[in-house]
Amino acid sequence: MGTHNYNLTEQFEFTGKAKNLSIAAIVIGIAAIAYGFSDHELHERTFANLLLMGYYFACVCMSGAFFLAVQFVAQAGWSASILRVPQAMAKTLPIASVILIAIVGAGLYSHNLYHHWNAPGLTDPSSPEYDKIIEGKSPFLNVPFFMARQLIFLGVYSFFAVLLSKLSAHEDLEGGLNSYRKSFKYSCVFLVIYGFTTPVFAFDTVMSLEAHWFSTMFGWYNFAAMWVSSLATIAIILILLKKAGYMSWVNNSHLHNLGQFIFGFSIFWTYVWFAQFLLIYYANMPEETVYFYKRFEFYKFWFYLNLTLNFLAPVLLLMDRDNKRSENTLLIVSILVLIGHWVDYYQMIMPGTVAEHNGFGFIEIGTAVGFVGLFTFTVLTALSKKPLVAKNHPFLQESLNHHL
Per-residue pLDDT tens for 287-300? 889 999 899 888 99
Full-model pTM:
0.94
CA distances from 262 to 69, 255, 313, 380 (A): 18, 10, 11, 22
- Say yes or no to pLDDT of 3 above 80: no
125: three-class secondary structure by DSSP? coil
Cα 267 to Cα 231: distance, rounded to the nearest angstrom: 14
Q: Tell me the mean pLDDT in the region 117-141.
A: 90
Are the beta carbons of 298 and 355 closer than 8 angstroms? yes
**What is the C-alpha radius of gyration for the chain, rounded to an integer number of angstroms?**
22
Residue 173, pLDDT score: 82
- Say yes or no to pLDDT of 2 above 70: no
Are the beta carbons of 253 and 11 closer than 8 angstroms? no
Per-residue pLDDT tens for 66-76? 999 999 999 99
387: three-class secondary structure by DSSP? strand
- Say yes or no to pLDDT of 41 above 90: no
Per-residue pLDDT tens for 241-284? 999 999 999 999 999 999 999 999 999 999 999 999 998 988 88
Taking each helix axis from N to C end, the angle separating 286-298 and 327-353, rounded to the nearest 10 degrees, works out to 120
**For residue 5, what pLDDT band results from cuts at 50, 70 and 90?**
confident
Residue 161, pLDDT score: 96
| More confident site: 136 or 3 | 136
Per-residue pLDDT tens for 131-176? 999 999 999 999 999 999 999 999 999 999 999 999 998 888 887 7
Residue 4, pLDDT score: 55
Query: How long, in residues, is the chain?
Result: 404
Listed by start position, the domains of the chain span: 12-399
- Say yes or no to pLDDT of 285 above 60: yes
Cα 72 to Cα 75: distance, rounded to the nearest angstrom: 5
| More confident site: 149 or 15 | 149
- Say yes or no to pLDDT of 97 above 90: yes
Report the number of secondary-structure helices (H) and strands (E) in the chain. Answer: 17, 0
For the stretch 270-297, what's the b/e string if a residue is b when 16 or more beta carbons lie within 10 angstroms of its beta carbon? bebbeebbeebeeeeeeebeebbebbee
Residue 1, pLDDT score: 43
- Pick from 38-47, 228-237, 362-371: least confident: 38-47
Q: What is the mean pLDDT of the chain?
A: 93
- Say yes or no to pLDDT of 21 above 90: yes
Q: Tell me the mean pLDDT in the region 316-338.
A: 95
